């Protein structure tokens, strides 16, 4: 079965073809980051308009790269949500139009399920069951995953998501958008002992998170500096912020593994690309004897491959999930 995946929930247009026999055939991505950068964040209407411009050229690209004729596509999976409403409507409309034109069924996929299953696209994928840490711009969740569609929420953020904390703190430091990679790079030059930042909910008895206090701590540090804050001070704040956030994420993962008795930890979502987080988790895995799995770097942030894959997995266990009435919800 060959499934076309269409992702358009935020500022990335992603299309991909996944074959349940041969694996990922092709994927193509257009990032709108350069367009939104000048506004310091995603402008929803511009995002929707750009998805319209990119979707069909990207489809043509994956068809050429895979050598697949469009009539050989068996089903079309699109991101149903959560995401920006206008942006989601573009992906759903593209999927609906293609489905109708090619006489193929379509299927809405939950964006977070796409992220959650993305590590299974790697060459050495984890077996079920596992604990998953989903850390994206909009969500931070710990989940027990027993199989496709078998998810138990263990804990989640009570306020900001980890990626949101990265982006907002980076903005406070004047690092632009998206802030995650920028603050992470700057942190490499910072002094970890320069400031003592809070580790919110580190010792709480549950597996929930809270990151808004950490962001406020960064705001207070920035305010306490003169307007022309020097590069080294910025790097020190960045370093202390990243260390605090990573400490909390790692500690909660360890608690989740202990709570479930599982020995496999899977990381998903944009913040999963963070090198400081990866180093800390790798060190903990050696010490505590568990295995940690990551998606390929290009599949940490939003992409069409994870939607094609999640759609294919869904259809394998529940073929009737594919629908031909060409009505959609976002
Ligand atoms: O999963 P994703 O592409 O979108 C959502 O579904 O939200 O995640 C985007 C988030 C942004 O907040 C971005 O700053 C963060 O992932 N991110 C990173 C890194 N790369 C992306 N955060 C920290 N370090 C990175 N290397
Ligand atoms: Zn995402």
Q: 27 CA to middle of ligand 1, Å?
A: 19
Which residues sit with Cβ closer than 5 angstroms to ligand 2, an ion?
136, 302
Model ipTM?
A: 0.98
Q: What is the pLDDT of residues 36-66, one digit of tens each?
A: 999 989 999 999 999 999 999 999 999 999 9
Using CA atoms, how far residue 329 sits from 79, 92, 93, 167, 303, in Å, is: 10, 8, 10, 29, 20
| Below-50 pLDDT ranges, the chain | none
Q: Is 156 exposed, middle or buried (0-12, 13-18, 19+ CB in 10 A)?
A: middle
Under 8 Å CB-to-CB from 258, ≥6 apart: which residues?
none
**Residue 159: its pLDDT value, please?**
97
Q: 136 CA to middle of ligand 1, Å?
A: 5
**Residue 327: its pLDDT value, please?**
85
> How far is residue 135's CA from residue 270's CA, in Å, rounded to a whole number?
6
Which of ligand 1's atoms lies nearest the C-alpha of 162?
Answer: 12
Is residue 72 annotated as involved in ligand binding?
no
**Residue 130: its pLDDT value, please?**
98
Using CA atoms, how far residue 319 sits from 106, 107, 122, 139, in Å, is: 11, 10, 24, 29
Is residue 135 annotated as involved in ligand binding?
yes
Question: Of the ligands numbered here, which is closest to the C-alpha atom of 310?
Answer: 2
Q: What is the pLDDT of residues 82-112, one digit of tens each?
A: 999 999 999 999 999 999 999 999 999 999 9
Output the residue whose Cα is nearest ligand 1's atom 23.
180
**Residue 318: its pLDDT value, please?**
94
Which of ligand 1's atoms lies nearest the C-alpha of 276?
Answer: 24
Residues with CB under 6 A from ligand 1: 10, 115, 136-138, 163, 166-167, 178-181, 184, 269-271, 273-274, 301-302
Q: What is the pTM of this model?
A: 0.95
Q: What is the pLDDT of residues 274-305, one digit of tens each?
A: 999 999 999 999 999 999 999 999 999 999 99
Q: 270 CA to middle of ligand 1, Å?
A: 3
**Residue 228: its pLDDT value, please?**
82
How many CB atoms sit inside 10 A of residue 170's CB? Answer: 23
């Amino acid at each position: 079965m060959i499934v076309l995946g269409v992702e358009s929930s935020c500022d990335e247009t992603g299309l991909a073809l996944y074959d349940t026999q041969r694996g990922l055939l092709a994927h193509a991505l257009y990032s709108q980051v350069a367009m939104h950068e000048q506004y310091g964040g995603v402008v929803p209407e511009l995002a929707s308009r750009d998805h319209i411009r990119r979707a069909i050229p990207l489809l043509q690209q994956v068809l050429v790269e895979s050598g697949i004729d469009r009539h050989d596509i068996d089903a079309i999976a699109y991101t149903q949500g959560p995401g920006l409403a206008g942006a989601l409507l573009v992906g759903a409309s593209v999927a609906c139009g293609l489905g109708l034109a090619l006489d193929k069924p379509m299927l809405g996929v939950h964006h977070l399920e796409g992220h959650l299953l993305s590590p299974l696209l790697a060459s050495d994928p984890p077996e079920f069951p596992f604990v998953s840490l989903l850390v994206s711009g909009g969500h931070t969740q710990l989940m027990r995953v027993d199989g496709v569609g078998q998810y138990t929420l263990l804990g989640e953020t009570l306020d900001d998501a980890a990626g949101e904390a990265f982006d907002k703190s980076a903005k406070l430091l004047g690092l632009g958008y998206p802030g995650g990679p920028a603050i992470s790079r700057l942190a490499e030059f910072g002094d970890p002992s320069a400031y003592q930042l809070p580790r919110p909910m580190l010792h709480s008895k549950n597996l929930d998170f809270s990151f808004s206090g950490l962001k406020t701590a960064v705001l207070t540090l920035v305010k306490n500096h003169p307007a022309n804050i020097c590069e080294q001070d910025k790097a020190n704040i960045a370093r202390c912020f990243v260390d605090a956030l990573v400490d909390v994420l790692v500690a909660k993962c360890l608690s989740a593994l202990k709570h479930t008795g599982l020995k496999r930890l899977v990381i998903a979502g944009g913040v999963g690309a963070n090198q400081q987080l990866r180093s800390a988790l790798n060190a903990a895995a050696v010490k505590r004897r568990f295995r940690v799995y990551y998606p390929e770097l290009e599949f940490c942030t939003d992409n069409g491959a994870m939607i094609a894959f999640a759609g294919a997995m869904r259809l394998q266990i529940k073929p009737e999930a594919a629908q031909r009435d060409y009505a959609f919800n976002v």
